[in-house]
Structure 1
Amino acid sequence: MKKHILSTVAALGLAICAGAVSAQELSLGQISQYLNSLQTAQGGFTQFNQDGTLSTGTIYIKRPGRIRFDYAAPDNTLVIGGGGSLAIFDPRSNAGPERYPLNQTPLGLILRDNVNLEQADMVTGVASDGTTTTVTAQDPDHPEYGNIQLVFTADPIELRQWIVTDDVGGQTTVIMNDMVTGGRVRDILFNIQAETRNRSN
């Protein structure tokens, strides 16, 4: 389950940030420039899980280095990226969150100060059918983590869905909705220590 959440989180982070890609197949330099100009984003998501179940929730992002996923009931999982760590809060556990170094996940590539998609092997494919553009990306240092396919339409440019393929070939599909960029997002949403204290009270 934790492995599934991590792979899904990685896909969400990449997909949210790469929203500038269109059917015109922008250059990787243009996409990198967009990513580096993105400050905040928030909205909803619908997730189709590998086991056929459906999950929904809300995502918040604040570059550099911060992201949050609130899964709705009955899941109620919370995932926070901040302070160099990625923490998974399991509502069924009385223990503290499980933590991972953010820079050891694909999210670290997108949330860093300077994103460079022209780095060797980061993007492994760009394809367009005239209506949608699909960008396939992976961690160039750890291709064994799997890959992410991001699907976009144009006029207006919108991210429609993404598919994450994990290291054993399992796939999870996510569809975004009602995304808003450039708004105010509070820093406290990404404070792992504060969330841990709140849950222990």
Structure 2
Amino acid sequence: MTDLHRRFLLTGLTAAALTAAVPALAQGGKNSFGGLITPPTFNAADKGRIDKATQYLQALTTAQGRFEQTDFRGRKTLGNWYLSRPGKIRFEYDAPYSLLIVADGQKVKMWDPRLKSFDEYPLGETPLSLFLSRQIRLDQNVVVTQVKSSALGFTLSARDRRKQVEGHIALVFDQAGNGNLTLREWTVTDAQGKATRVHLTSFNRGGGFKSDLFVLSKSQMKK
């Protein structure tokens, strides 16, 4: 797996990583706005959906499940994900990739066992930091640009507000009859219009995870 492909996987999972900040890792292409993007004026129903999504994401503490990622060429990768907010998340790709991506509260680390390649990035410099932070905000570094309702729930489209980078993310929420939300999938579209879709095929809230689940080191991988 090339470094470009590893970064693409990181962008597809973590840039979307469950809040709307994908353009922080996108490449090129300033937007057509002169400064900060001015959010649209939403009606009361759509404002309520944005508030509900923010509250839902804020309330997530621990969760786990399976994911299916589809890139812009239609290639699919599967794996497991584990969440422990604030600060920690883990993505385990199935074979043949067997890639590991772990945020430990300080850094995001990636291990490619096929290439014996280990990379790490400061968590604060990745979009993951916005989702994993103690306080979730969808009205500061990112701006919601569209809200679309459906029979199953609604979709929030958002883009980077400060960096003036082309690209956006669409977060899809299922809404039960009692109003409860479940994050079902997200699609990241980069500056070139290439989309990566991550579908959470299972989503189970809660989980008593061992602390070492969110520990990944180069020396550990060499054992």
Distance change (3 Å), C-alpha of 1:186 and 1:166: farther
Indicate yes or no: 2:99 matched with 1:57. Answer: no
What SS does the aligned partner of 2:201 have?
Answer: strand
Indicate yes or no: 2:26 matched with 1:26. Answer: no
1:18 maps to none
Mapping 1:48-197, distance limit 5 Å: 48-95=70-117, 97-119=118-140, 121-144=142-165, 146-155=167-176, 157-193=181-217, 196-197=218-219
My pick for the range that moved more, 30-39 or 42-51, is 30-39
Native 8 Å contact 1:55 1:71 kept in 2: yes
Indicate yes or no: 2:7 matched with 1:3. Answer: yes
**Percentage of matched positions with identical amino acids:** 35
1:40 maps to 62
Distance change (3 Å), C-alpha of 1:143 and 1:102: farther
Amino acid of the structure 2 residue aligned with 1:5: L
What SS does the aligned partner of 1:113 have?
Answer: coil
Gaps of 5+ in 2: 20-44
What SS does the aligned partner of 2:140 have?
Answer: coil
What SS does the aligned partner of 1:192 have?
Answer: coil
My pick for the range that moved more, 155-164 or 98-107, is 155-164
What SS does the aligned partner of 1:178 have?
Answer: coil
CA distance in 1, matches of 2:72, 2:101: 19
Gaps of 5+ in 1: 16-22
| Larger-gyration structure (1/2) | 2
| TM-score in terms of structure 2 length | 0.76
Native 8 Å contact 1:7 1:166 kept in 2: no
Q: In the TM superposition, what is the alpha-carbon distance from 1:14 to its structure 2 partner? A: 0.8
| TM-score in terms of structure 1 length | 0.83
CA distance in 2, matches of 1:74, 1:25: 43
CA distance in 2, matches of 1:24, 1:141: 23
Native 8 Å contact 2:97 2:114 kept in 1: no
Amino acid of the structure 2 residue aligned with 1:2: R
Native 8 Å contact 2:16 2:169 kept in 1: no
